[in-house]
Amino acid sequence: MSQRIGVLNVQGAVSEHATHLRRVGAEVHLVRRPEDLTGLAGIVLPGGESTTIGKLLKKYGLFEPLRDRIAEGMPVFGTCAGMILLAERILGGDDPHLAVMDVTVDRNSFGRQRESFEANVAMADMEGDSFPAVFIRAPHIVDAKPSVRVLAEIDGKIVAARQGQMLATAFHPELTDDLRLHRYFSEMVGTSSYVSAMS
Ligand code: GLN
């Protein structure tokens, strides 16, 4: 049976994530309302603008149901702004959003001259070549607690990490043809017994 994986559909690179997830065999459901969470075995939080996405989560009544499900163990994959949404702490005084992952993030880490760039990143837990990572006004993790496993760093900055059922990347794996991170997440979902109940 294929897994039902949600993609948060309020802003950002939604369709690219949906395409990648389908290509690794998932049944994709776009999530905008609390009831869309029903029956999901995992969810992807795409990149975009974290402040806007945080506000829209509240507007659509998704904020608490989503946070509660992640806290209950629903596998989640946050990319770029999605990683910022997961972080318990944001450098510079911004209020955290879902605050479920024990990391501190810096929202704009690579400077204006490097607003967007691609780099090959060596990833732990991943076979084959380094990962082609696209960074767009990317954040990074400045501090990860011991329960967080660092999966990749660039220039000494943490750009991919995992804590239990939570996976986060500072870059956009949905913008290249490399499916390994989406496959990795679908395997996380496959080994988890979580299925989201009715909201
Ligand atoms: N820096 C952006 C933010 O703060 C994230 C950029 C992205 O998702 N590409 O939300």
Domain CATH code at residue 75: 3.40.50.880
Residue 173 lies in a domain: yes
Predicted confidence at residue 92, as pLDDT, reads 92
Hey, how many other C-beta atoms are within 10 angstroms of the C-beta on 57? 23
Q: Are 53 and 12 in contact (CB under 8 A)?
A: yes
Greatest C-alpha distance within the chain: 46
Cβ distance 148 to 103 under 8 Å?
yes
Q: What is the pLDDT of residue 193?
A: 84
Q: Radius of gyration of the chain from Cα atoms?
A: 15
187 as an active site residue: the answer is no
Which member of 20, 80, 97, 140 is catalytic? 80
Please confirm, yes or no, whether 153 is among the known catalytic residues.
no
State in Å: Cα 155 to ligand 1 middle.
19
> Is 198 contained in some domain?
no
Helices vs strands, H then E, count in the chain: 5, 12
Ligand 1: residue of 79, 108, 115, 172 to mutate (most ligand atoms within 8 A of CB) is: 108
Q: How would DSSP label each residue in 16-73? A: HHHHHHHHTTPEEEEE-SGGGGTT-SEEEE--S-HHHHHHHHHHTT-HHHHHHHHHHT
Domain that holds residue 68: 4-191
pLDDT score for 198: 61
CB 148 within 8 A of CB 142: no
| Residue 172 a catalytic site member | yes
Considering the domain boundaries, does residue 196 fall inside one? no
Listed as own residue / partner, the contacts of 142-150 with beta carbons closer than 8 Å and 24 or more positions apart are 142/91, 142/104, 142/105, 142/106, 143/89, 143/103, 143/104, 144/102, 144/103, 144/104, 145/102, 145/103, 147/102, 148/101, 148/102, 148/103, 149/124, 150/124
Neighbours of 186 (CB within 10 A): 22
Q: How is residue 150 annotated by DSSP?
A: E
Spacing, Cα 107 to ligand 1 middle (Å): 7
pLDDT at site 93: 83
Mutate to test the pocket of ligand 1, among 44, 51, 107 (most ligand atoms within 8 A of CB): 107
Question: What's the predicted TM-score (pTM) here?
Answer: 0.96
For residue 113, what pLDDT is reported? 63
Q: Is residue 199 part of a domain?
A: no
Q: What are the beta bridge partners of residue 133?
A: 119
Query: Would 197 be classed as within a structural domain?
Result: no
- pLDDT at site 1: 61
Pocket of ligand 1 (CB under 6 A): 47-50, 80-81, 84, 107-108, 136-137, 139
Burial class (CB in 10 A: 0-12, 13-18, 19+), 1: exposed
CB 121: neighbour CB atoms within 10 A?
Answer: 20
Number of domains in the chain: 1
What local confidence, expressed as pLDDT, does residue 194 receive?
A: 87
pLDDT in tens, the chain (199 residues): 679 999 999 999 999 999 999 999 999 999 999 999 999 999 999 999 999 999 999 999 999 999 999 999 999 999 999 999 999 999 998 999 999 999 999 998 887 667 899 999 999 999 999 999 999 999 999 999 999 999 999 999 999 999 999 999 999 999 999 999 999 999 999 999 888 876 5
Q: Are 123 and 151 in contact (CB under 8 A)?
A: yes
